């Protein structure tokens, strides 16, 4: 019998930021907790199908970062990856999450690794989906993008080119063998939020701060070696930004990690939910045991 999770959609104040989040309401109060950290240019809605499928057995919690989705930050909020991590750390505290696994995807990796550095005793395990932490996981195009700096001729225009409907849609379709399997809901909803007042400026600021993540790779790799958390890697191998070598690189620091590569692009859950969801469920069961 198919069991679809009950879900709740809430807001919580974190230091003046009104954080929207969705969470499943599992059948058991002691269900394992999985914090779902979304990527660019999306928000918590990218996990809606995963929550439906797994949320009856596990407590899945998916917040929107400041500048994304339905989360609202006050005027003057500084959009940086440290700033996003500050809000997510406060979010974890407000919800009283003392032990949880993290699903880190794209921007979720730099946010999640910052959380892991700050709260190592709370991290039960990591599910890594196209969340890069290694130099070899950067494509040439990604390296060129990360090298952009404010004030350079054409730099801001290049960033803003990714924030158009064409740019947003291409992030979903590039690397996907049959784009017709993709529901258009993801990129159209992403674009709706990107087009709200102030959102493009937030994304430009984050794009220019992305170099801070690459500069932190050595620290994050050291964290993995030191803490040796259980790790499940599920990766779209044809990602134009973070290619498959970035997935394999994790095995240097966590050689016992479980690795699965899929013939798809950046948003692997959009095409391979049926394959990925059982892997996540089995991983959470192992972590719980």
Domain locations in the chain? 7-288
For 16-62, how does the pLDDT look when each residue is reduced to its tens digit (9 = 90+)? 999 999 999 999 999 999 999 999 999 999 999 999 999 999 999 99
| Mean pLDDT computed over 155-169 | 96
- How sure is the predictor about 117, in pLDDT bands with cuts at 50, 70 and 90? very high
CB 97 within 8 A of CB 33: yes
Alpha-helical segments (H) within 55-107: 81-95
- Which tokens hold the place of 213? 């993540």
pLDDT in the model for residue 165: 97
Please report, in angstroms and rounded to a whole number, the separation of the first and last CA atoms in the chain: 25
- Evaluate if residue 123 carries a pLDDT over 70: yes
The verdict on whether 11 is a catalytic residue reads no
Count helices and strands (H / E) in the chain: 12, 8
Of the residues 38, 192, 260, 266, which is catalytic?
Answer: 266
For 196-216, how does the pLDDT look when each residue is reduced to its tens digit (9 = 90+)? 999 999 999 999 999 999 999
Percent of the chain with pLDDT over 70: 99
- Which tokens hold the place of 28? 């058991």
Phi, psi of 174 (to 5 degrees): -65, 125
pLDDT in the model for residue 289: 81
CB 101 within 8 A of CB 239: no
Q: Which residue has the tokens 């269900």?
A: 31
Distances (CA, A) of 36 to 77, 82, 144: 23, 18, 28
pLDDT in the model for residue 1: 55
CATH for 7-288 (3.40.50.1820, 3.40.50.2000, 3.40.50.720, 3.30.9.10): 3.40.50.1820
- Taken in order 274, 278, 283, 288, the sign of the CA dihedral is positive
């Amino acid at each position: 019998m198919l069991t679809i999770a009950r879900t709740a959609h809430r807001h919580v104040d974190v230091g003046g930021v009104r954080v929207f989040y969705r969470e499943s309401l599992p059948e058991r109060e002691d269900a394992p907790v999985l914090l779902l950290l979304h990527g660019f240019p999306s928000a918590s809605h990218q996990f809606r199908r995963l929550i439906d499928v797994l949320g009856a057995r596990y407590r899945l919690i998916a917040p929107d970062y400041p500048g994304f989705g339905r989360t609202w930050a006050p005027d003057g909020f500084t959009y940086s990856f440290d700033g996003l991590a500050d809000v997510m750390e406060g979010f974890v505290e407000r919800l009283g999450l003392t032990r949880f696994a993290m699903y880190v995807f794209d921007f979720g990796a730099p946010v999640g690794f910052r959380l892991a550095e700050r709260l190592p005793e709370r991290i039960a395990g990591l599910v890594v989906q196209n969340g890069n932490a290694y130099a070899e996981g950067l494509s040439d195009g990604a390296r060129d993008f990360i090298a952009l700096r404010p004030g350079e001729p054409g730099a801001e225009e290049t960033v803003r080119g990714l924030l158009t409907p064409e740019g947003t849609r291409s992030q979903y379709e590039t690397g996907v063998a049959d784009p017709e399997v993709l529901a258009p809901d993801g990129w159209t909803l992403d674009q709706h939020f990107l087009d709200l007042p102030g959102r493009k400026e937030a994304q430009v600021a984050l794009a220019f701060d992305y170099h801070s993540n690459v500069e932190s790779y050595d620290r994050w790799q050291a964290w993995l070696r030191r803490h040796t958390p259980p790790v499940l890697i599920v990766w779209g191998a044809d990602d134009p930004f973070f290619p498959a070598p970035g997935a394999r690189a994790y095995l240097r620091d966590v050689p016992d990690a479980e690795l699965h590569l899929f013939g798809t692009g950046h948003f692997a859950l959009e095409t391979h939910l049926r394959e990925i969801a059982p892997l996540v469920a089995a991983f959470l069961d192992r972590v719980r045991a």
